[in-house]
Amino acid sequence: MSMFKSGLVLLVAALAACASLQDDGSSAAVRQQLAPTGKIRAAISVGPAGSQFRAKLDRGTNRPQGVPVDLANALGERLGAPVELVMYDNYVDLLEAARLGTWDVTFLPFSEERAKVMDYGPAYYFLEVTYIVPAGSRIRNQSDIDRPGVRVTAVEKSISAAKLQKSLKNATFIQAKKLSEIREQVGARKVDAAAAGRETLLDLASQLPGTRVLEDNLDALPVSVAVPRNRPAALAYVTDFIESAKATGVVRRAFDNAGFKDAAVAPAASRR
């Protein structure tokens, strides 16, 4: 091989190596914004029912398990950084922590209010929002909800709560601090309906005999990866990560592992 060809091969190899380093997140900007403490601090929503963005606590280890945990670990593996799972059982604290910069990535449904403190990447799932009703309820569909005397609840700062506050004209809306309160209220018939994501409510229904999840939907919302505001390098990296995770089956496996085998992964480049 001539010196020219040899030098060209070395140059191409060097450029490829540099591109590889950038692709796997080794750039200083990505690491500074996505793992500023040396590890990725993943904000994980936890509760008594799992979903495509909420984890459940393992009864034996008390550690979170589910879709957001699997995705956070896959992100850490790709970046080559350890992952710290920061758990939140309510949205108020999670959003305040975003303002304080105490976590680096999360997986949540999109809302305009949340977008004030975090930047969203592409969706990896579209969430159906509906209602659960107590055992013996006469409520059959959405049209039975907004009536005088009907008590409706949702978790504070959730997408469901924001929508109900705007849309309900006749029913009484009651906010719950966290999902465990919803479970208690529905089980004790302290409310007539509770709104949340379909998978969350189906999980709750399995824990509350006689309760029903309505078949029709209140809304459909994108569930996306997100980072605190003003971290452009981190946002670009997690955007590429989630698109790759959808294409290579990482998201599909996370859904299957959590029991959501019928849940459809969002198409490429899905947004709101």
The tens digit of pLDDT for each residue in 161-173 reads 999 999 999 999 9
Say whether 128-219 and 3-126+223-257 share the same fold.
Answer: yes
What percentage of the chain has pLDDT greater than the value 90? Answer: 85
Kindly report the average pLDDT of the chain as a whole number. Answer: 90
pLDDT value of position 272 = 65
pLDDT value of position 59 = 86
Q: How confident is the model at residue 38 (pLDDT cuts 50, 70, 90)?
A: very high
What percentage of the chain has pLDDT greater than the value 70? Answer: 90
User: Which residues, at least 6 apart from 3, have a Cβ–Cβ distance to it below 8 Å?
Assistant: none
Provide the token pair at 29. Answer: 């900007």
pLDDT value of position 3 = 37
pLDDT value of position 209 = 96
pLDDT value of position 26 = 53
Question: 3-126+223-257 — its CATH code?
Answer: 3.40.190.10
84: left (phi over 0), alpha (psi -120 to 50) or beta: beta
For the cut 60, the answer to whether the pLDDT of residue 22 exceeds it is no
User: Which residues, at least 6 apart from 22, have a Cβ–Cβ distance to it below 8 Å?
Assistant: none
More confident of the two residues 5 and 105: 105
Spell out the domain ranges in the chain: 3-126+223-257, 128-219
Q: Domain 128-219, what fold?
A: D-Maltodextrin-Binding Protein; domain 2 (3.40.190)
For the cut 70, the answer to whether the pLDDT of residue 15 exceeds it is no
